[in-house]
Amino acid sequence: MVYLGRSPGGRLVALKVIKDEITDHPEALARFRREAETVRAVRSAYTANLIDASLAAPPYWLATEYVSGPTLSRAVADRGPLPADTCRRLFAALAEGLASVHAYGVTHRDLKPQNVILAPQGPQLIDFGIARAAADTALTRTGAAPGTPGYTAPEVLVRNEVGDAADVFALGATMAFAATGRAPFGAGSVEGVSYRAVHEPIDVVGVEPGLAALISACAAKDPALRPTPAEVIVRCAVLSALVEDPYYQALTAGLTDPPPHDLPPATPPHALPTATAPNQLPPSPAPTRSRRTTWLVTVAVAAAVGVVGAVVLRWGPGGGDGGDGEAASGAPGPSRSAAPVRTGGKTPVGPPTYIEQTAPSLDGYSGLSDRCRQPVQEQTDAQLQYSVTTGDSSPTDDVPPGKVRIGYRLKYEEPGAPPYYLAITVKPPHEVDAKGNPTSRTPNRQLGFVSRVSDLYAGAQTEWKYVMYPDDFGYRSQGEVLPALPVDRDKSTEWTVVYQHVKGPTDYKSVVCGGFVVE
State how far the Cα of 81 lies from the Cα of 407, in Å rounded to an integer: 34
Whole-number pLDDT of residue 478? 66
Strands (E), 256-342: 296-302, 311-312
The highest-level CATH class for domain 72-252 is mainly alpha
Burial call 257-291: b when 16+ CB within 10 Å, e when fewer: eeeeeeeeebeeebbbbbbebbbbbbeeebeeeee
Whole-number pLDDT of residue 228? 96
Whole-number pLDDT of residue 111? 92
DSSP string across 416-427? TPPP-EEEEEEE
Whole-number pLDDT of residue 122? 93
State how far the Cα of 65 lies from the Cα of 191, in Å rounded to an integer: 36
CB atoms within 10 A of CB 191: 11
Indicate the DSSP class of residue 265.
Answer: P
State how far the Cα of 254 lies from the Cα of 247, in Å rounded to an integer: 14
110 noted as active-site residue:
yes
Whole-number pLDDT of residue 320? 29
Say if CB 226 and CB 165 are below 8 A apart: yes
Whole-number pLDDT of residue 334? 25
State how far the Cα of 440 lies from the Cα of 77, in Å rounded to an integer: 24
CA angle 420, 424, 425 (to 5 degrees): 145
Whole-number pLDDT of residue 306? 26
| Nearby residues of 239 by Cβ (< 8 Å), 6 or more positions away | none
Q: Which of 110, 203, 370, 392 is catalytic?
A: 110
CATH 3.30.200 fits 2-67+264-302, yes or no: yes
152 CA to centre of own chain: 18
Beta-bridged to residue 64, according to DSSP, are 14, 50
Q: pLDDT per position in the chain (519 positions), as tens? A: 788 888 778 888 888 888 766 666 666 777 777 777 777 777 778 888 888 888 777 788 888 888 888 999 989 988 899 999 999 999 999 999 899 888 878 888 889 999 999 999 999 988 765 444 433 433 333 334 556 889 999 999 998 888 899 999 999 999 999 999 999 999 887 888 899 999 999 999 999 999 999 999 999 999 999 999 999 999 999 999 999 999 999 998 744 444 444 433 333 322 323 222 233 333 333 333 333 444 455 443 433 222 222 222 222 222 222 333 222 222 222 222 222 233 333 444 456 788 888 888 888 888 776 678 788 888 765 678 888 888 876 666 778 888 999 999 887 777 777 888 999 999 998 888 877 777 766 678 889 999 999 998 888 888 889 999 999 998 876 667 778 999 988 876 889 999 999 998 889 999 888 888 887
Domain map of the chain by residue range? 2-67+264-302, 72-252, 337-518
Whole-number pLDDT of residue 132? 45
State how far the Cα of 115 lies from the Cα of 112, in Å rounded to an integer: 5
| Nearby residues of 340 by Cβ (< 8 Å), 6 or more positions away | 381, 417, 418
Whole-number pLDDT of residue 373? 79
Indicate the DSSP class of residue 279.
Answer: B
State how far the Cα of 491 lies from the Cα of 262, in Å rounded to an integer: 50
